[in-house]
Amino acid sequence: MVAPTGDQPNISFPGTLASSAFAACFAEVCTIPLDTAKVRLQLQKKAIGDAVALPKYKGMLGTVATIGREEGLAALWKGIVPGLHRQCLFGGLRIGLYDPVKTLYVGKDHVGDVPLSKKILAGLTTGALGIMIANPTDLVKVRLQAEGKLESGVPRRYSGALNAYSTIVKQEGLRALWTGLGPNIARNAIINAAELASYDQVKQTILRIPGFTDNVVTHLLSGLGAGFVAVCIGSPVDVVCLSLY
């Protein structure tokens, strides 16, 4: 059956949304320094283009070190506030809705393993729905992360996340908060489908191996596999989305 089995906790839908959002926020706090470095590297390549110039940032760890040295360690967590806003909305919805949507596609009376195609379709659906709501938080997060060290006397575009939301609306209009929505839907739907479907599939495969049970080790192995697949598939679309912000 698609529904939880007797040995699995039957968590309510609000509980699933809340736990998904909390887990996504915790991951955001831990990984945002690397995400900030990724944004700087991607935007740097766009800025340099075909011109002959020495890149300021070199490699992931080199970028982290440069940001920390020039702007302080706190700069690595630029965008954490809208990042948490994003994870509460997008993280909660994309994960919390995944099982209900998957059940919708296969039918509540389905018996046995869910086909991979249905898992992918459910991931595409929840990823698209989630980012349609959370796109403003994604936009503000990237803009805050992208702002590097400024010359003396040059003011920052935004003093913080809330100021960024209001400034964008005042200067560019409400619709500007959904800048890049089309590519962002494609990016997040694809990454979400790759991540959740591969997690589901890897976990299903691992549980068929004698000695493995539905425990923390199985979840960690499934998560590692899902993360690798999601990054490989989503990176090209990620670069396109950043260029629109």
In a domain, 123, yes or no: yes
The helix, strand and coil proportions of the chain, stated in percent and rounded to the nearest 5, come to 75, 0, 25
pTM confidence score: 0.79
Q: What is the DSSP string of 114-143?
A: PPHHHHHHHHHHHHHHHHHHHHHHHHHHHH
Burial class (CB in 10 A: 0-12, 13-18, 19+), 40: buried
In a domain, 5, yes or no: no
CATH number of the domain that 231 lies in?
1.50.40.10
Structure tokens, 14: 């609000």
Q: What's the structural domain count of the chain? A: 1
**Per-residue pLDDT tens digits for 219-238:** 999 999 998 888 888 777 77
In a domain, 30, yes or no: yes
CA pair distance 177, 138, nearest whole angstrom: 9
In a domain, 132, yes or no: yes
In a domain, 6, yes or no: no
**Per-residue pLDDT tens digits for 45-78:** 665 555 546 678 888 889 999 999 988 999 999 8
By residue range, what is the domain housing residue 86? 13-147+159-244
